[in-house]
A and B are shown apart, each in its own frame.
Chain A
Amino acid sequence: MSEGRIRALFLGDPQAARVVPPSGFTAQLTLFVSGAMAFLAVFALALSLASGRLATRWAEELARSATLRINAPADQRAAQTEAALTILRQTPGVARARALSVEEQTALLAPWFGSDLALDDLPVPQLIEVIEGEPGYDAAGMRLRLAAEVPGAVLDDHTRWRRPLVDAATSLRRLGWVSVLLIGGATAAMITLAANAALSANAQVIEVLRLVGARDRYIAQAFVRRFTLRALIGASVGVAFGLAGVLLLPEASDEGGFLTGLGFQGGSWLLPLLIPVMGALVAFVATWAAAHRTLKGLI
């Protein structure tokens, strides 16, 4: 369809819009569906963007850190810890390494054993936090050296549990985008149904218009323009409510974990503004197709 035709559909003869009776349940249906779907689309978009940020952050944070566990008898633990720290300091790509204090290890175990745990009574391994530099260290090489010099050391570079977490966040982001697409598809389906209902309800009007010499384009224009504007208005209201809902969500916090921080940041606040435009575009295409299908069935 040419640009001129599209412009004519929106700005063309306003009389064309008048030839179709203005009322009917399809008007309310289109407004409601567009509004509700836009509202949901805002949240799906927010979920997708937040999941994307989480995936990136987790991947970055976990990729930079590792844990060295010293599983040694109590009398050798300090010596092996010191030996491991020496190796780590000498290893290129390790920015820093430090042994966790008793208090820190107690705090880590507190969720399971309570805060008054006497660590000396348990065969708890010593943990060493390793922060990776740029570029990173050679994990395989480090494991070999540790195996030779610190037999009780086990290097955990978090890969085992980092990958599923990042995968989960990436899947969640993908799910968000699929939801946006499904919402778009559902909107198109509902508007097509509404447009078909409007076309059927106005069969007599269409017949009269054809009898007096109206072209298909003119008749379609009356319906397309109306449904497109309704979708635009409905989606704008839905987006406004959706953004208000997102603003009311709690800020990202460590205590809230994954359930907080579902929102937009910086320039991404502008993205929801595209939803009404996309909604109008979906309505335009859906109504245009429905109108042409119906009109082609008439002589």
Chain B
Amino acid sequence: MIELENVGYSYGGGELLSDVSVQLVAGSFYFLTGPSGAGKTTLMKLCYGALQPTTGRVKAFDGDLRDLDRDQMAMLRRRIGVVHQDCRFLDHLPVADNIALPLTVSGRDMAQENANLEELMQWVGLSARAHALPPQLSGGERQRAALARAVIMSPDVILADEPTGNVDWEMSQRLLQLLIELNKMGKTVLIASHDLALIRAAKSQVQARVLRISDGRLHLAGADL
């Protein structure tokens, strides 16, 4: 589904990632962990083409990202749902419009998609906040809205970068449940998190592989997690 082959990434003269090879298998659940600044966000950005590897190559859905033109890259991003740590909303649009943004930019008929949008907002528990503006939401609500936006196009892969970074334990469990539900629907899920308690909680509910980045290299984490 997404494959990194001997990927290296250098920034500012330093090598952030080196010889990273990993394959995200369809329908699997992954955690990506490591200390702050280890390169978790960078690796995620490489997966959806927001960054170009310095060495090696990234393949998504059997295509090399280097071979994609700008329109094809846009199409690829419709198949990969991304939840950013800082959510990245358009603050002048209501929550419902932000969640529906991937549908809007892809030219879908919103009259036909309204039922799906309402159902999704209900699923993440934001029906009552549909007309609120993003700055009016709490941390947990923002993360759930970001998750809803990431999955509204029914993508094959969901990449979540520290989705529970700014929320309390109870909310992080709720978000985790939503991601596990998505995985059970057949979606490939990759969560970048340094929250080991969350990873342990997830492993008790879903078969998750844990990848750890340290010193620029990627390792499969052992049973200590």
Contacts and interface: CB of A to CB of B under 8 A. Distances in A.
Given A215-B70, A215-B74, A216-B70, A208 B102 contact: no
B220 interface: no
Interface of B: 48-52, 70-71, 74-78, 82, 84, 88-90, 92-93, 97, 101-102, 104-107, 110, 149, 153
Given A13-B104, A218-B105, A210 B89 contact: no
B193 to A, nearest CB: 20
Contacts of A15: 104, 110
Contacts of B71: 215-216
A209 B97 CA distance: 13
A207 interface: yes
A288 B110 CA distance: 27
Contact of B107 (A13, A21, A209, A210): A13
A210 B82 CA distance: 12
Given A13-B104, A13-B107, A213-B106, A208 B92 contact: no
Contacts, number: 63
B25 to A, nearest CB: 23
Contacts of A210: 74, 77
The majority secondary structure among interface residues of chain A is helix
A208 B70 contact: no
Contacts of B76: 213
Contacts of B50: 211, 299
Interface in A242-274: none
Which of B102, B104, B110 has the largest count of A CB atoms less than 10 A from its CB? Answer: B104
A208 B78 contact: no
Interface in A134-190: none
B127 to A, nearest CB: 21
A213 B70 CA distance: 10
Interface string A264-299: 000000000000000000000000000000011001
